[in-house]
Amino acid sequence: MSVKRTSLEIFRLKKILDALASKEGRGTELISLYVPPGRQISEITAMLKDEWGTASNIKSAATRKNVQDAIVRVIQRLKLFKEVPENGLVIFCGAIPRGGPGSEKMETYVIIPPEPINIYLYRCDSKFHIEHLRDLIKEKETYGVILIDSSEATFATIKGRRLEVVKEITSGIPGKHRAGGQSARRFERIREAQVQDFFKRAASYANEIFLPIEDLKGIIIGGPGPTKYDFENGAYMDYRLREKVIAVVDTAYTGEQGVKEVLEKAPEIMRNVRYIEERQIVQRFLYEVGHDTGLATYGEREVRRALELGIVDTLLLSEALETTRLTISCSSCGYTYHENMKVSEVLGFTQSLVGKPCPKCNTPSLEVSEERDLIDELAEIAEAAGSRVEIISPETEEGQMLMKSFGGIAAILRYKAEQH
C-alpha cells in the first residue's frame, strides 16, 4: 500500500532541492551519495575510504584537499547511523565558493527520502545530483485512463511518467452506414442497443481494473469522437469510479497511441486536481469566516495562539509566504525577542544590530541567535499538536486571496477557542 505524501512533505523537499540546485563548486568537488535501503553502512564507509585514497591522485592541491575533506565529512555523517534508514539515505557534501579562491565553505546536507530510493550512486561533480530526488516530488499517485469510441476501448494506468496499457477490447459494432435490406430506423435501434451493451461491457472492465487500485487519484476519459461523452454521462461504471472522473479529453487515437496523447496532457490535469483540492480547503476556511462560526482564525499571532491551545484542525500556509523568523538574543542578560522579515532583508538587519542597545539591559550585545523559515516553524508546531498542514499554491484565485487578504496564514479550528 502506498503512503500518500502530504503537501508539506513535498514543499519541504522541493525547497531544499531548489537550494541545492543553486550551488556550484570549483571543478569536480561536490559529492552526491545515494544509498538505497538494505545496504550496509560498513560497506559504504569502505567504499568512501577507497575513494579518499583515489582522490590523492588529483593534481590540483586545492581540489584534492576539498574532495578529501568532503569524503571525511560524509564518513562522519554515516557514523551517526547504525543502519541505512528504511527509505534509504542521501548525503550531499562539498566546498561551496563564497567569492574568490580560498573563500570556499564546506556544506553538508543529509536527506532521508520520503519514500524508498532504488539507486546506489557516488559521484563527484561541479554540481549536486538532485535529479533522482526531484523524481520523488513528481506526482506518484495512480490515474486511470479510459479511451473509448464506438469500435474499441483501451484501459491504462499512469503513475508519474510511467504508463501501462492494461486491457484493450473491441466492440464488433458495424459502422453507421445501413446494411442492405434493413430500414434506417431499425438499423439505428439495433446499433444503439449494441452500443449500450458495449458501454456496459467497457464499464465492467473499468470496475474490474480500477476499483482494486488503493491510491487511484482520478480517471481520465478520452477518445477521438463524441462517444466518450455518451459513456461518461451514462451511469455505466460503479459510482465510486464515476466520482473520480476528473477530465474528459479529445485524442486522435484510442489504443496505446491515444494513451500517450493523454500522458502529454496529464501533468496539467493532475496539477488541476491538486488545485481543486486546495480550492476546497480554502473555501471551507472562507465559509467559516463568512458565517462567523468561530471555527476559523487567521494572522500569525492568532493562528500561533490557536496552535498552542491545540485547537487547530487544519493549518493553511501560502507557498508565497517567503518569510524568515529571527530570534534576537542579548548575550549579556539573556533577553530575547522575535522579528519576521523577507529573506533579502536578513543580512541588513543583522548588520544593523551591531552596537544597538538591548531594550532590557541597555548593553550593545544583541545578535541573531536563530533563523527559521516561518512556514517550517509553524508547520512544526502544528505537527506536534496533531494538526493537518496544507501548503496552498498562490496560482488559484482562492490561493491569492489567502495571501492577500489573510496574510498567507490561516487555520480551521476543531472547536471555538473559548470552549477549550
pLDDT digits (tens, 9 = 90+) for 269-293: 877 777 778 888 999 999 999 999 9
Give residue-wise pLDDT tens across range 281-327: 999 999 999 999 999 999 999 999 999 999 999 999 999 998 999 99
Show the domain range for 360. Answer: 296-419
311 in the same domain as 409: yes
pLDDT digits (tens, 9 = 90+) for 169-199: 998 887 665 555 557 788 788 888 999 999 9
Would residue 372 count as lying in a domain? yes
Q: What mean pLDDT is predicted for residues 145-166? A: 87
* 45 occurs within a structural domain: yes
Which of 145-159, 182-196, 216-230 bottoms out in mean pLDDT, i.e. has the lowest? 182-196
| Element at 142 (helix H, strand E) | strand 142-148
Say which residues have a Cβ less than 8 Å from residue 32's Cβ, sequence separation at least 6. 90, 92, 121, 122, 123, 125, 128, 129, 130
Question: Is the per-residue pLDDT at 258 higher than 70?
Answer: yes
Say whether pLDDT at 154 is over 50: yes
Residue 332 and residue 244 share a domain: no
What pLDDT does 70 receive? 95
Burial class (CB in 10 A: 0-12, 13-18, 19+), 342: exposed
pLDDT score, position 389:
94
Q: What is the CATH number of the domain that holds 37?
A: 3.30.960.10
Amino acid at the residue 275: Y
Give the model's pLDDT for residue 395. 81
Burial class (CB within 10 angstroms; exposed 0-12, middle 13-18, buried 19+) of 10: middle
Helices in 211-345 by DSSP H: which ranges? 227-233, 239-242, 255-290, 300-309
**Overall average pLDDT of the 399-415 stretch:** 95
pLDDT at 76: 95
Find how far residue 22's CA is from the centre of its chain: 19
245-250 vs 216-223, strand pairing mode: parallel
Which pLDDT score is estimated for 214?
83
Give the model confidence (pLDDT) of 61-90 as tens digits. 888 999 999 999 999 999 999 999 999 999
Question: What's the rounded Cα separation, in Å, for the pair 229 and 232?
Answer: 5
pLDDT at 420 over 80: no
212 and 132 both lie in a single domain: no
pLDDT score for 35: 96
What does pLDDT average to over the chain? 89
Q: Do 13 and 126 fall into the same domain?
A: yes
Cell matching residue 371: 533563523
pLDDT, greater one: 245 or 101:
245
Task: Assess if residue 283 is contained within a domain.
Answer: no
Which residue in the block uniquely carries the three cell numbers 461518461? 232
At 393, phi and psi to the nearest 5? -70, 145
Q: What is the DSSP letter of 215?
A: T
Report the C-alpha gap between 286 and 284 in whole angstroms: 5
d(CA 272, CA 267): 9
**187 and 121 housed in the same domain:** no
Please give the pLDDT value at position 1. 34
**Percent over 90 (pLDDT), the chain:** 62
Number of domains observed in the structure of the chain: 3
One domain for residues 171 and 218: yes
Question: Do 310 and 246 sit in the same domain of this protein?
Answer: no
Q: Which pLDDT does position 388 carry in this prediction?
A: 93
Higher model confidence: residue 65 or residue 141? 65
- Kindly state the average pLDDT of the residues 81-110: 89
Whether residue 289 is contained in a domain is answered as no
When pLDDT is averaged across residues 334-345 and rounded to a whole number, the result is 90
CATH of the domain at 342: 3.30.1330.30
| CATH classification at residue 147 | 3.30.420.60
Q: Which of 137, 163, 188 is the last residue of a domain?
A: 137
Q: Write down the pLDDT at residue 2.
A: 39
List 298's β-bridge partners, or say none. 410
Is 131 found in the same domain as 154?
A: no
Residue 266 has pLDDT above 80, yes or no: no
Residue 33 within a domain: yes
Q: Which helix (H) or strand (E) holds 16?
A: helix 7-21
For 407, the 3-state DSSP assignment is coil
- Would you state the pLDDT for residue 177? 57
Judge if 133 and 147 occupy the same domain.
no
Residue 396, pLDDT above cutoff 90? no
Q: What is the DSSP letter of 178?
A: P
- In this prediction, residue 9 carries a pLDDT of 81
Task: Considering only the C-alpha atoms of the chain, give the largest distance between any 2 of them, rounded to a whole number of Å.
Answer: 106
* More confident: 383 or 343: 383
| pLDDT value, residue 139 | 60
The confidence score (pLDDT) of residue 3 equals: 42
pLDDT level of residue 159 (50, 70, 90 thresholds): confident
Among 50-54, 101-105, 111-115, 275-279, the least confident range: 101-105
